[in-house]
Amino acid sequence: MPGFEVFGEEEKKEIMDVLDTGVLFRYEFGEQRRGIYKVREFEEKFAGYCGAQYGQAVTSGTAALKVALAALGVGPGDEVITQCFTFVATWEAIFDSSAMPVFTEVDDTLNMDPADLENKITERTKVIIPVHMLGAQARIEEIKTIADRHGIPVLEDTAQAAGCRLKGRHLGTFGQCGTFSFDSVKTMTTGEGGMIITDDKDLWKKMSEYHDHGHDHVKNPGARGGEGRSFIGFNYRMMELQGAMGLAQLAKLDQMVASQKETKKILRKAAAKIPGVSFRNILDPEGDSATFFSFFLADKEQAVKVNKILRQNNAGAIAFGENSWHFYPHWEHLHANATLSRSGWPFKDQAGRQRVVYDPDVLPRSSALLDRLLVYQVPVNISKERVAEITAALEKAAG
Ligand SMILES: *Cc1c(COP(=O)(O)O)cnc(C)c1O
């Protein structure tokens, strides 16, 4: 998964280009920057790589969600549907937009279950956020069809799936927009950073202006100060050093994915020997970014037993069913309505009345599924010795 494994001369060169100009700001400084606009170039190249018209760089993947939700017009009283297996950032951004997250079950893709999505749509649903978790595809075509039938825009949280495709088409280009994260542990990294891609020019312009205090943007302007404003915004600007990192990392993305796919094949072959094992439903193995390898055991008891053997052999897997940052039943602060707001918002209204209850037990099918799931992160640079150690552990678990 992490792009930091392949930092090299390319990143240094891009960074030095920026330091040589002395300009860290993505706008202005016309003369001094000598034509170097790393963030702008990164936006254009990243969008181009994905096959999208526009890219909007921001400070993080969480900010990308927030800016996209703002541009899609989400506000108080609105509901936004996402899935119960995702990083907390997805629904933090929904709350930060003053809206309310509604959670669906996940299916054997480990992503949004389209049938449950249909159940959760109400007249208050303003956006649907499927997440392409662990580097592989959600049922995005089915989800888009359902959303279209209801006239609701789809925002793809593609934070974990840069470089991942479905039938040759990049994830993040199926919905109205797609958001990416380049944080320190993502496939390509700028330390902190994010991006939104879209083909909708009006949506891009709103995102571009909102993320920059509402400054009027015609097209990434160089000069500013005297221009107008159409609405209130905020500051989610990426800086030039991050843009420089992004350019170097993007150039390595396909290579990283290819290397992960090779390793994943070997791990899968070894795990297939475990009696009762089955695999995550990867809708398009060719397009998989292979950042993770996920497999199911027959039941929870076997998953615990297998992982014990794997751990004893220095190859313990991640049990996402127990993970407190990525799975709804373990978001105790959400269930407990923990908020810094003195009124209790967003769980309570200004009069102290309860607005919503998040019950940890309402998504039993996802719990049953994740309870028997084991996952390995697939590194970019992994030694032959380490691969052999993991496959030997899997073979031991096979008995
Ligand atoms: C990492 C991640 C984010 C947030 O990205 P940051 O850049 O860390 O803010 C959002 N959604 C998912 C699914 C993620 O994995």
pLDDT on residue 140? 98
Report if pTM > 0.95.
Answer: yes
pLDDT on residue 238? 98
Please identify which of the residues 144, 186, 205, 206 carries the catalytic annotation: 186
Phi then psi for residue 237, to 5 deg, are: -75, 135
Q: Is the dihedral of CA 280, 281, 283, 284 positive or negative?
A: positive
Among candidates 150, 146, 111, which has minimal Cα distance to 130?
111
Catalytic annotation on 396? no
State in words which class domain 254-397 has. Answer: alpha beta
Among candidates 15, 61, 59, 58, which has minimal Cα distance to 38?
15
**Domain layout of the chain by residue ranges:** 3-252, 254-397
Among candidates 228, 182, 236, 187, which has minimal Cα distance to 208?
236
State in words which class domain 3-252 has. Answer: alpha beta
pLDDT on residue 30? 86
**Distances 100 to 49, 138, 347, 362 between C-alpha atoms, Å:** 33, 22, 9, 16
Question: What is the band of 399 on the pLDDT scale with cuts at 50, 70, 90?
Answer: confident
Q: Do domains 3-252 and 254-397 have the same CATH topology?
A: no
106-141 per-residue burial string, b: 16 or more CB within 10 A, e: under 16: bbebbbbbbebbeebbeeebbbbbbbbbbbbbbbbe
Among candidates 211, 202, 181, which has minimal Cα distance to 27?
211
pLDDT on residue 219? 53
Dmax of the chain from CA atoms?
72
Give the chain's count of helices (H) and strands (E).
Answer: 13, 12
CA–centroid distance, 264 to ligand 1, in Å, is 23
pLDDT in tens, 108-162: 999 999 999 999 999 999 999 999 999 999 999 999 999 999 999 999 999 999 9
Residue owning the nearest CA to atom 2 of ligand 1: 159
Instruction: With a cut of 80, say whether residue 303 has pLDDT above it.
Output: yes
Looking at residues 313-323, what average pLDDT do you find?
Answer: 96
Using the structure block, give the residue that is written with the tokens 């840069």: 162
Residue owning the nearest CA to atom 5 of ligand 1: 61
Q: How many CB atoms lie within 10 A of CB 75?
A: 12
CA–centroid distance, 179 to ligand 1, in Å, is 9
pLDDT in tens, 164-199: 999 999 999 999 999 999 999 999 999 999 999 999
Residue owning the nearest CA to atom 6 of ligand 1: 61
* pLDDT mean across residues, the chain: 96
pLDDT in tens, 235-256: 999 999 999 999 999 999 999 9
pLDDT on residue 221? 52
Q: Are 125 and 170 in contact (CB under 8 A)?
A: no
Atom index in ligand 1 nearest the CA of residue 194 equals: 7
Distance CA 105, CA 102 (A): 10
pLDDT on residue 65? 99
